Amino acid sequence: MIRRMKGTYDITDDIGYYKAIEKQIERVSKLFNFKEIRTPHFEARELFHRSVGEDTDIVSKETYDFEDRGGRINTLRPEGTAGIVRAFNENKLYASNISPQKYYYYGSMFRYERPQKGRFREFRQFGAESFGSNHPSMDAEIIAYAATLLKALKIKDITVHLNSLGDKTSKANFEKALKAHFQPHLDSLCKDCKNRYEENPLRILDCKVDKNHESMQSAPKTVDYLTDADKAHFESVQAYLKSANIDVVVDHNLVRGLDYYTHTVFEIKVSEDLLGSQNAICGGGRYNNLVETLDGPPTPAVGFAFGVERLVVALKENDYPLSEDYLHVYVLVMGEQARLNAAWLIQRMRMGGLMVDTDYTERSMKAQFKQSANHNARFVAIIGDKEVEEGALNLKDQQLNTEERVSFNDLYVTIVDKLTQKRSDCQDCDYKGESQ
């Protein structure tokens, strides 16, 4: 048997959790006026090298690269922002008469990581990007958007960790201080950190190997190297978050792994009881130079990305209530003529907005009744030879435990009528289909 590839998984029984998350993403995104954008799953390899950064783990060690038959080097996207910025520039979305332009995305990302609990090689992210505003209120809105999604999904005990890297000058000053700090410790740091020291010292703080090294605790803090303007921006973000009633923890050790961040960076963690050590459920920040780096006009931007699998685990741990699957009607058929007649009745009901299913394997009556119950059908319509002759059938209401004879012509309206009757004992009065 051919098995799934390492680090991938099939979504079968858990599909309800994904659907619930997708539904809330759509709802909350509407509340915040973010529009959906969909970009390709693969891009030119160069895109990620130029944006995420050559020496970040996800680019240097974790990408799925492949050469296509035309000799082009493609990369399966390891994250969403680079592709969206590419699309923003290529489609000249910056020329829109709406500003800031607010987009959200949902889809698979691919990283060649060591699979473990909460870490996969194909995983899904929900993310958002806002282009065109450098205002601290926009940083706060992005964080409020992420926190609101968690609230909508009934995930409690979240902590928003917040820090600021500042813009170019602040970052350069900080990097200088980091180099001076780590220089005497270089020999005892890992090989990657030695490279990072030369290429991008900030990344040393994000190292998984050296995270408990003595030099980490005493390392300089970003806030001490922020310019006055960058410090004011950071303070203002906090004031806006306070005004929106979003609690945050200022975490000076938070730097985030990707190169493109400037100013605000944040991570949302849920309690370890819920997700263990992989409890970072969302990460994001400002990236004011990326649009320009990828040949677009200077455009400030800020965004986040959620790990959907971790949201699913959190929902399952919390027994998130899923809506039950059900059918409006299950049509029981006995005999070939009945089946032919059922075909047009079923099609007519479906066209009218009813959820209908039937038997396709010539089961016995008893087995078909069992199926109707397995499908959680409100009504069962029974058609045999006699019914075809009479042009009428028995309609059983499984919820009210009633049965009546209904002509084929009246079947659809009878069911719709019953579904839309508001009565205290009717829990299934949610029919929203259109009549023919």
Which residues make up the interface to ligand AMP (CB under 6 A)?
A: 79, 111, 113, 118-120, 123, 125, 280-283, 305, 307, 309-310
C-alpha–C-alpha distance, residues 153 and 275, integer Å: 15
- Residue 119 CB, shortest distance to ligand AMP, in Å, is 4
- Residue 111 CB, shortest distance to ligand AMP, in Å, is 5
- Residue 107 CB, shortest distance to ligand AMP, in Å, is 12
- Residue 48 CB, shortest distance to ligand AMP, in Å, is 12
Q: Which residue number, 107 or 384, has a Cβ lying nearer to ligand AMP?
A: 107
- Residue 182 CB, shortest distance to ligand AMP, in Å, is 23
Please identify which residue in the block is written with the tokens 């986040």.
304
Q: Cβ contacts of residue 48 below 8 Å, gap of 6+?
A: 58, 59, 63, 75, 77, 78, 79, 82
Q: Which residue number, 9 or 94, has a Cβ lying nearer to ligand AMP?
A: 9
Structure tokens given for 23: 């539904």
- Residue 39 CB, shortest distance to ligand AMP, in Å, is 15
C-alpha–C-alpha distance, residues 128 and 36, integer Å: 9
C-alpha–C-alpha distance, residues 213 and 415, integer Å: 69
Contact 29, 144 (CB under 8 A): no
Q: Which of 198, 216, 205 is nearest to 54 (CA)?
A: 198
Q: Which residue number, 74 or 125, has a Cβ lying nearer to ligand AMP?
A: 125
Closest residue to ligand AMP, based on beta-carbon distance? 307
C-alpha–C-alpha distance, residues 260 and 243, integer Å: 28
Q: Which residue number, 136 or 307, has a Cβ lying nearer to ligand AMP?
A: 307
Q: Which residue number, 114 or 432, has a Cβ lying nearer to ligand AMP?
A: 114
Q: Which residue number, 281 or 393, has a Cβ lying nearer to ligand AMP?
A: 281
Q: Which residue number, 75 or 125, has a Cβ lying nearer to ligand AMP?
A: 125
Q: Which residue number, 111 or 196, has a Cβ lying nearer to ligand AMP?
A: 111
C-alpha–C-alpha distance, residues 261 and 240, integer Å: 20
Contact 74, 45 (CB under 8 A): yes
- Residue 116 CB, shortest distance to ligand AMP, in Å, is 9
